Structure 1
Amino acid sequence: MRFRPCIDIHNGNVKQIVGGSLKDDADYARDNYVSDRDGAYYSDLYYEKGLRGGHVILLNHEGSPYYEESRRQMELALSAHPGFLQAGGGVNPENAEELLNAGASHVIVTSYVFRDGHIDMARLDRMLSAVGREHLVLDLSCKEKDGEYYIVTDRWQKMTDTVMNTATLDELSSYCDEFLVHAADVEGMQKGISESVAAILGAWARKPITYAGGVHSIEDIHKLGDIGQGRIDVTVGSALDIFGGPLSMEKVIEATESIR
């Protein structure tokens, strides 16, 4: 298990938010933490710790008045250490190359490959042609409905008809280098992981896959390690001390390194 850090950017600031609260209308989100540091500061911090493979996510939509400043913060993080961080948020074949040139190792995509709630394989093919499988991460973040977990798009606001399960992971695995999965129902809430989502990922885990959502203690990390059989990586956000939370980043690193 590896710790994959994050830099979430909303309204021009590095933030930690409650994921389910995010709305494009009025650029609203319920904040857990708003940093006075820029994207490059966190990129430097992760680089010094050797935490390769984290992600920087732009949470404003392109029509937002905050979009350009949020984009600038993303580019500060990427350019500080080229090839070190992944980048996501509104990625499509037209802007993906810009992000790679700005320093992203991979681009992270969800919404572009879904249209009207359905997966669009032609769009996925275009995305693959634009960046190559080795630079593509598919974000299969999900919410629970009727006992199953459906992929959500547009900053976790829209439910699709695609279930996030081992069959879907099988189907999409040939198109990407990694998967990222936020358990959106618990994202930013610091109330514990979604054991059901973790179990799906751990049962599959045929290529690098990162779980995010709800971690608030070292016990959560060990639980995720057990459920995922040590085969999935983890993101911790709002609970970290660097984002105003109670959990030491050093202890998170130690815990993940102890799980094999």
Structure 2
Amino acid sequence: MTRFRPCIDLADGAVVQLIGGTYADDGSTTITNHRSERPATYFAERYREDGLSGGHVIKLGPENDASARRALAVWPGGLQLGGGVNVTNAAMWLEAGAAAVIVTSSLFDDRGRFHPQALARLAAEVGPDRLVVDLSARRVPTDDTDTPGPADRDEAPRWVVAMDRWQRLTNLKITPSALDDVAEHAGELLVHAADVEGRQEGVDIELVSLLGEWGGRPVTYAGGARSIEDLDLVAEHSKGRVDLTIGSALDIFGGTGASYDECVAWNRRER
């Protein structure tokens, strides 16, 4: 059944909530919804006490390693770690306490071409069960998706995976067969709807429905959630097969649309 999944997004060592696709290392284009005065360890401890396993810690850019390590140390095996993960450092993050590592950009070359062999190597290094693939989705007009890619046997894909902090489109289209190909080497998928991430304008129901219909691996969707009712919405449209991350709308991140305590209660209630 659909669960609420928590998050800890880090920029310059601080816990933040950003609008997707705006992040830049120099801050020139970054739009920040919230910058917490509390450290990452505060949130990790709270998630541990409330039994919210499977949340993700995402390092956005440099200067976040120390904060990420401290958060993982608070709850070894309770949180996933993403941001700059590749075949050379994945095992290190698992040793630091991550339940799994999350990967995107290192699966693509500098031209944005997906390399399944890179995914296979990473899975061989850490094991598929400890590997989460983040497919950060950006909507594209269906007539602009005819670039050759791994999922050409599907019709009319509406989303393309973006890399480099969601600002660069790749040749990997989000379709059922592409999800099958990725899931062969991963235990779980994390799908960000990058166009609505941080905007609190509502979840991408079409994308949620596609993920629910697919159902080949555990999936967490993130992007656009604005209230506790979105958990009901995702549960309905994914047939309970997709979990939901709520970020900027949460009161613990300065939001007004969703109560953290209500999200915890959602996970605990009998359904």
TM over 0.5: yes
Corresponding position of 1:64: none
TM-score w.r.t. the length of structure 1 is 0.93
The CA distance in 1 between the partners of 2:233 and 2:5, in whole Å, is 17
Contact 2:76 2:98 in 1 (8 A): yes
DSSP-derived class of the 2:5 partner: coil
Q: Is the 8 A contact 2:228 2:259 kept in 1?
A: no
Partner of 1:215: 225
1:117 aligned to 2:120?
no
- The partner residue of 1:225 within 232, 235, 241 is 235
Structure 1 position 256, deviation (Å): 4.8
Equivalent in the alignment of 1:183: 193
Structure 2 unaligned segments of length 5 or more: list them.
Answer: 143-157
Q: Which has the higher helix share?
A: 1
The alpha carbon displacement at 1:142 in A equals: 0.5
1:255 pairs with 2:266: yes
Per the alignment, do residues 27 and 94 of structure 1 end up closer, same or farther by CA in structure 2, a change over 3 Å counting? farther
Contact 2:9 2:60 in 1 (8 A): yes
Q: Quick check: 1:241–1:248 contact (8 Å CA) kept in 2?
A: yes
Task: Describe the shift of the 1:132–1:184 C-alpha distance in structure 2 as closer, same or farther (beyond 3 A).
Answer: same
* Secondary structure at the counterpart of residue 9 of structure 2: strand
Any idea what the Cα deviations from partners look like across 1:209-247, whole Å, max 9, x if unmatched?
100001101222211111111111110100001001111
Q: CA deviation at 1:20?
A: 2.2
Residue 122 of structure 1 aligns to which amino acid in structure 2?
A: Q
Measured after TM superposition, the shift of residue 28 of structure 1 is 4.5
Tell me what 2:148 maps to: none
Task: Judge conservation of contact 1:140–1:151 (CA < 8 Å) in 2.
Answer: yes
One-letter code aligned to 1:41:
Y
Q: Which residue of 2 aligns with 1:91?
A: 85
Q: What is the total number of aligned residue pairs between the two structures? A: 253
Structure 2 contact 196–203 (Cα < 8 Å) conserved: yes
CA distance in 1, matches of 2:215, 2:60: 27
Is 1:173 paired with 2:183?
Answer: yes
1:205 partnered with 2:199: no
Query: Residue 251 of structure 1: CA displacement?
Result: 1.3
| Paired position in structure 1 for 2:149 | none
Change (3 A) 1:256 1:27: farther
How far is the alpha carbon of 1:109 from its aligned partner?
Answer: 0.4
SS across alignment from 1:197: helix
Q: Which residue of 2 aligns with 1:5?
A: 6
Q: Which amino acid is 2:235 matched to?
A: G
Name the CA distance, whole Å, in 2 between partners of 1:192 and 1:163.
Answer: 22
Does 1:58 find its partner at 2:59?
A: yes
| 1:80 Cα deviation from its structure 2 partner | 0.9
CA contact (8 A) 1:230 1:259 kept: no
SS at match of 1:86: strand
Partner in structure 2 of residue 128 of structure 1: 123
Give per-residue Cα distances to partners, 1:158-193, cap 9 Å, x unaligned.
101111121111111110110000000000000100
Q: Which one-letter code corresponds to 2:37 in the other structure?
A: D
CA RMSD of aligned residues (A): 1.4
The sequence identity of aligned pairs, in percent, is 43
The AA in structure 1 aligned to 2:129 is: E
| Residue 254 (structure 1) shift | 3.0
